[in-house]
Each structure stands twice: as C-alpha cells, then as structure tokens.
Structure 1
Amino acid sequence: MSFFNNLVGSINSVVDSVVDIYSNANTFPNTVIRLNGRNFTITKLLGEGGFSFVYLAQDEQKQMYAVKTIRCQLGKEVAANAVREAIITDRFQHPNIIKIVDMCMIKEEDGSKTVYIIMPFYKRGNIQDLIDKSNQLGKSISEKHILSLFRGICQSIQAMVNYTDRLGARKHWAHRDIKPANVLLSDDGKTPILMDFGSARLARLDITDRKRAMKQQDDAAENCSMPFRAPELFDVKVGTRIDEKIDIWSLGCTLFAMAYGESPFEMTVNQQGGTMALAVLNRQFFFPHAKQYSKQLQNLISLMLNTDPKLRPDIDAVIKAIDKMMVHY
C-alpha cells in the first residue's frame, strides 16, 4: 500500500505539518538531513530548476537516492504545489513511472519551509543523456532500441489515461511535459521511468471562456517545455477542449528527438530561423536524410504531430503501431 494512503486531510493541513531538521541541506556536500526518522547524506547536486534542486544522497545502508528539494519561501502556494506533485506521482503505481520512497516538510533556520521528496536514483540518467551521448559520438540509437524504450514511455501515459481512483471512478490524466529529460533509464538501460509530475493535470477541460483560455495558456507556458508543447497550448481557443492528446504530440516530439538528436521544432528553428511558437503552430518540421529510419517510424511521428488533436491517434493506437513495427526485430 502506498504511504500516501495514510495522509489525512487537505493539502493545506499537510503543508502546515513541519519536521525539525538535523542540519541545513543547503550546505552540501556531506550534509546530513533527517527525514521521518531516517538519515540521508547529501553528496552531489544532480540538477536544478525554478524553486527546486535534485541531490544525490545515500542512507545509512549506503543505498543511493535522488532527493528533490523544493524551497517554499513565497507562502503556501509553492508548498502546496510541491505536496500535490508528490501525491500525484504516487497515485500512478506503474513500472514505468517513478516511485516516491518518502516525503517530508522541514522548517529551515530562516523560517521558510522545504519539501523533500525521496526517489530512487538511476545511475544511467535520462533519455536526454542517452541522446546527447549518441550525438557526441556521432552515432544513432538503433530503431529497435528506440521502439523498445518508447513503448515503455507510452505505457506510462496509458496508465495515466486509464487511471481509476479508489472509488472506482475513471480519471483521465495528462502529464503535459513529456520530453527526453523527464524520462529516466533503469540501471539495466532497458526500462524508461517517467518522472516530474509537477505539470500533470486532469486531462479533459472544456475552454468555455476567455479567462479559462488564458489561464490554461499561462499554465502551459510555465509548466510545459516549449519544444515539446502541443500547438493547442500555445494558442488556447474558446470553445475547444484540451485533452490527453496533448501528450500524444509531446510523445511524437520525443520519438523524433530519440531518432534524430533533437526535437523537430528545435531542429527547424536552429536550421531555418524563426520562432518556436510559429514553427509548432505551422507544423514546420522535416526528417533529416543523414539518419535513416523506417518509413513506418516516420509515419508514426507525422501522425502524432498533427496540429488537429482529433486526428492524432490515442495512446492505445500508438502502442499498437509500435508493436506492429517491433515484430520485424
């Protein structure tokens, strides 16, 4: 059973619960933090962005973990969002979705609060690291390897779309920020692990007025990476519906990047100029001739990168297409 099932009350009540810290985690490396009765020694900064930092840490048994810290200096909203991200992540119990080992909120010496989210550490990094390494070596990732990894990513999205809550109600979720940097690789290099659920939302939303349209557009600008963002999030129109097909677009961009070394619209802007938004809205991308992949792979990418979300395949159809291609390997 997930440890989050034991949480009682609203997010605000969770935010108000504070645990004392052994020493300040900002003075890494070799800082010891005590979270829910366990000691973790921070050894290395792995990455940062916005209000958050991700550290490499080990427990008293020398087991390695990734510790995401989110500083909450601007009131309860940042703290509530941090707790929300952890709860959403833990909701989807799936082999291709990151696990939450533990979570804690700590009061710092300056009176601010920091949310700590403990996750497994994967030494191979993420798929963006795999792409970068391949680019540096002047090599391509084999189509067989791409399809195998991509199928696992799609399975994580399928689990989100088909999520059923404890009361048996079907709730369709969208990740909204699928990209190679948000997909970790298991230590054997074979299993992709989707992470970073701060952008995740219930998938289906009717845009009934201008206020709701602008709210969704602003939310996407803040939380959804531009090179992988669906066109309907660049220009949110009244009278439309945003749904899980936004993730299909991002998956198409991710598959392209795995094959050709960068996202399709970054490639267009880097080689032809212009703005990312216009490249996306006008569907301006091309398949390089230097790297040869099957026509079926290119056709699947083209189908997912349809500017009309109604014409994009759903996640079940994408997985079916991948399975059909993998029969040949």
Structure 2
Amino acid sequence: MDLLLYTFSKCFPCFPNLSSPSVTINNAKYKIIRLLGEGGFSYVYLVSKGSSNSLYALKKIRCPFGGDESFKMALKEIRNYHRFTSSKTPYIIQSIDESVVDESDGSKTIYVILPYFEQSLQDIINRNVLNNTSMAEEEVVRIFIGICRGLQAMHKYKTYGTGVEEEEDALLLPGTAGEEDEGEFTMNGGEMSEMIPFAHRDLKPANVMLPSTDGIPVLVDLGSCSKARIQVRSRQQALSLTDFAQEHCTLPYRAPELLDVATGSTIDESTDIWSLGCVLYACMYGFSPFEKLELDEGANLNLAISQCKYNIPNSGEYSEGLKSLIGKCLRLKSSERPTIDEILEDALQLSRS
C-alpha cells in the first residue's frame, strides 16, 4: 500500500487527494489522468472533463511568493494564449480556461486548461532517428509552412485602439519599460492599429504540436513569447537578456546573438528565423545542425552556434531548394536573415514545384 501511494504521489505531485485526483476550475471538474511533464514550479497533466471524457492538458503553475516575478510571468503567459485570437490563426495554441487560486500560505496557484495534443514534432523526429528513417520532403515542407504561418501571426501582430497596449515586458529586461522599438501605425476602417512584432523565443520541435498525422502544426509553450524588438542600451540589460535566454531559449535552437548579448545591440524577431532554420534541419536530419556537429565531430555546441558552423549531409533525399532554406535562416548576422514573409513565400514555391 505504501508503494502504491508513493507511485501515485510521483504521478500526481501537488495533488494530495490520491484516491481520486481532480481539480475544479470555474465550476468545471477535471479528473487527473497522468502527469505529462514538469519543469521548475509548473506541472502539466492529462485530464478529462465530465461524462464526455474529453481530454485536455492542465498546466499548473505554483507561484511561491504571490506577486513575485514568477506570478507576473505566468500571467503574461496566459495573456499570450489570448493575444493571437484576433489573428484567427489555428497555428498558435489558445487556452480554454484559466483560474488563479490564492493559497492559505500566501502563495498563488495558476491553472490553465489547454488543448491536448498526442504528439509533437519532436516525437516524430525521435521515431525517425530510432527507426533510421526520414521524413518525406513533401511532409517536411507542409509542416514547415504551418510553422511559418504561426510565426507570421506573431511577427506581424497588431493591436487596435488609440495607444500601445500595456505590457509587463519589463520583466524581460528590468528597467527597460518603454525602451522597445516603436511599432508601425496604420489605419483600419478609421481605427488606428499598431504593428508590434512578437517573437516566440523558444521555437523547437518539442514546441510544435501535431494534432494528427496530417494535422496542421500548432506552436505551443508561449511562456517566453514577448515583444520582439529590444534595444539593449546598457551592460545590465545585456546581462539580463543573456540570463533570460539561458533559462528560456533552448541552446541547440538559440540564435547566436542571444548567447552573450552585446551592449548596444538590437534583438528582434530574427531570433525566431534562426530557430526556424534549426527546426527545418532537425526535420530533415534528426537533430539541430549544431547538435549533429557535436555528435558527429565532438564540436562545442556554444562555439559551433557562435561561428554558425554546421554541415549539410550529401544525401540526395532532399532537394537543393529545401536545403537552401536552411542556409537562408542560419545567417550569423541577424540583419542578413530574411523575414518570415520571405521564408514563407520560398516554402510555398517549393510546395508548388
């Protein structure tokens, strides 16, 4: 019996009612089925709702000190789930419900109900590596186009109204509120809109979900998503952004300008373009380009990224046009990388050929 309780406690951490673990969010009861993943103060569970047994993902975020930075970051993540609703894009995840609970010890717990996806792009890549198989070019291009459409909605995000929407993006770089690049103002039916590019900041195969074998790709994990354009005006800001990247931007897919952010530099949405090239490479060859160099030649990952050093296999399974997309994304100088519109157009041309 003790072993059974221990097993349940490992499956359902933070849920003391082991006999029938469940949680109620805004009067809707969800049954906890199993733990899907965890990291830091957050846990993700597979849950079912009501008699229909519809499946969802429940993200539970523990904020030990109530109004601290972790709580503000969690609220920012929730805003991101709603932010791109106006874009009417199916390529970015949106939350279904949320709840903030004030605990007796002064901490806060945030619950977020999200769609449940059975597999990620990383799952497919892992299977291919284990089975020594590869993804067909047509499938690679189809998935790549979907990812591009999701990034396009972020990079071309617009707000409507008379002024810039209030954000807590100063959390990214303490003391930099109001220092981001100004957006581009346009008129839409007499209503002023402002283009404020956002960047995902942690694009990788594990953050691309595929609802079914031929389903459209969905970008998930919006915890790092924030305003894309940041002017780094001091060494303190540079160090803060470097620390943020180390914590939130997965190294094999991280743009070189985020390895050691330079004072006086500008960080923008081109960091996602670099990651996009790494994701494309992983779809084709099983690993990010710099992971593969590390595996094949023992290269230092940080050094390989900072020098943009990688190899493209000489196999004939993929067209030169598809391979060229990798090189277009992986430009050491961020200013030389194409926009998401340009990359998407290239990919669409490949799909037509």
Counterpart position of 1:34: 24
State whether structure 2 residue 73 is matched by structure 1 residue 78.
Answer: no
Q: Secondary structure at the match of 1:317?
A: helix
Counterpart position of 2:326: 301
What is the CA–CA distance in structure 1 between the aligned matches of 2:18 and 2:104, rounded to whole Å?
15
Moved more, 176-185 or 282-291: 282-291
Counterpart position of 2:111: 116
Superposed CA offset, 1:109-162 (max 9, x none): 665322111011122x11000101111221101010011011011101100111
* Root-mean-square deviation (Å): 1.8
What is the CA–CA distance in structure 2 between the aligned matches of 1:306 and 1:74, rounded to whole Å?
42
- Shift, 1:27, TM fit: 5.1
- Shift, 1:206, TM fit: 1.2
Q: How does 1:28-177 map to 2 (within 5 A)?
A: 30-60=20-50, 61-76=52-67, 77-93=69-85, 94-108=89-103, 112-123=107-118, 125-167=119-161, 168-177=193-202
Relative to the length of structure 2, the TM-score reads 0.83
Relative to the length of structure 1, the TM-score reads 0.88
What is the CA–CA distance in structure 1 between the aligned matches of 2:18 and 2:121, rounded to whole Å?
27
What is the CA–CA distance in structure 2 between the aligned matches of 1:110 and 1:237, rounded to whole Å?
41
- Shift, 1:166, TM fit: 3.1
Counterpart position of 2:280: 255
Q: Structure 1 residues 31, 313: CA separation in 2 closer, same or farther (over 3 Å shift)?
A: same
What is the CA–CA distance in structure 2 between the aligned matches of 1:288 and 1:50, rounded to whole Å?
37
What is the CA–CA distance in structure 2 between the aligned matches of 1:323 and 1:115, rounded to whole Å?
40
Aligned counterpart in structure 2 of residue 198 of structure 1, from 218, 223, 235: 223
CA contact (8 A) 1:28 1:43 kept: no
CA contact (8 A) 2:66 2:106 kept: no
CA contact (8 A) 2:46 2:56 kept: yes
Superposed CA offset, 1:21-63 (max 9, x none): xxx6355684111100100001011111122111000111311
What is the CA–CA distance in structure 2 between the aligned matches of 1:26 and 1:234, rounded to whole Å?
41
- Shift, 1:80, TM fit: 1.7
Q: Secondary structure at the match of 1:324?
A: helix
Counterpart position of 1:231: 256
What is the CA–CA distance in structure 1 between the aligned matches of 2:103 and 2:66, rounded to whole Å?
14
Superposed CA offset, 1:167-205 (max 9, x none): 222111001000000011023532000001111110111
- Shift, 1:276, TM fit: 1.4
Counterpart position of 1:5: none
Q: Structure 1 residues 154, 56: CA separation in 2 closer, same or farther (over 3 Å shift)?
A: same
- Shift, 1:320, TM fit: 0.6
Q: Which amino acid aligns with 1:126?
A: S
Q: Structure 1 residues 37, 322: CA separation in 2 closer, same or farther (over 3 Å shift)?
A: same
